[in-house]
Amino acid sequence: MMYPSITECKWTEKWLDGFIRRYNLSNRRRTTVAQKLPEDLEETQHEFLSFVLYQCIQYDYSLALIGNMDETPMWFDMSSTTTIDKKNASTISIRTCRHEKSHFTVVLTCLADGTKLLPMIIFKLVNVPRQTFPNGIIIRANREGWMNADEMLWWIENIWTRRAISAVHPQSLLVLDSFRGHLTDPVKRQFNEHNTNIAVIPGGLTSKLQPLDVAINKSFKSKVIKYNSLN
In a domain, 20, yes or no: no
In a domain, 113, yes or no: yes
In a domain, 19, yes or no: no
Residues 40-84: tens digit of each pLDDT: 788 999 999 999 999 999 999 999 999 999 999 887 765 555 666
Contact 71, 146 (CB under 8 A): yes
Nearest to 84 by CA among 28, 9, 140, 162: 28
3-state SS class at 29: strand
Q: Residue 174 maps to which CATH number?
A: 3.30.420.10
Between vectors from CA 103 to CA 98 and to CA 109, what angle results, nearest 5°?
145
CA distances from 162 to 157, 194, 226 (A): 7, 11, 32
In a domain, 135, yes or no: yes
Rounded to whole angstroms, the Cα distance separating 172 from 191 reads 10
Rounded to whole angstroms, the Cα distance separating 107 from 69 reads 7
In a domain, 197, yes or no: yes
In a domain, 134, yes or no: yes
In a domain, 9, yes or no: no
Rounded to whole angstroms, the Cα distance separating 166 from 115 reads 13
Looking at residue 98, its amino acid is R
Boundaries of domain holding 89: 42-230
Per-residue pLDDT of the chain (231 residues; tens, 9 = 90+): 555 666 666 778 888 788 888 888 877 655 554 556 667 788 999 999 999 999 999 999 999 999 999 999 887 765 555 666 666 666 666 565 554 557 889 999 999 999 999 999 999 998 988 888 888 999 999 999 999 999 999 999 999 988 765 555 578 999 999 988 999 999 999 999 999 999 999 988 888 889 998 888 888 877 777 766 666
Contact 146, 125 (CB under 8 A): no
Rounded to whole angstroms, the Cα distance separating 72 from 146 reads 9
In degrees and rounded to multiples of 5, residue 107 shows phi and psi of -105, 115
In degrees and rounded to multiples of 5, residue 205 shows phi and psi of -115, 15
Tallying the residues shown for the chain, one arrives at 231
How many structural domains compose the chain?
1
In order, the DSSP letters of 36-92 are: PPPTTHHHHHHHHHHHHHHHHHHH---GGGEEEEEEEEEESS---SEEEEETT-SS-
In a domain, 26, yes or no: no
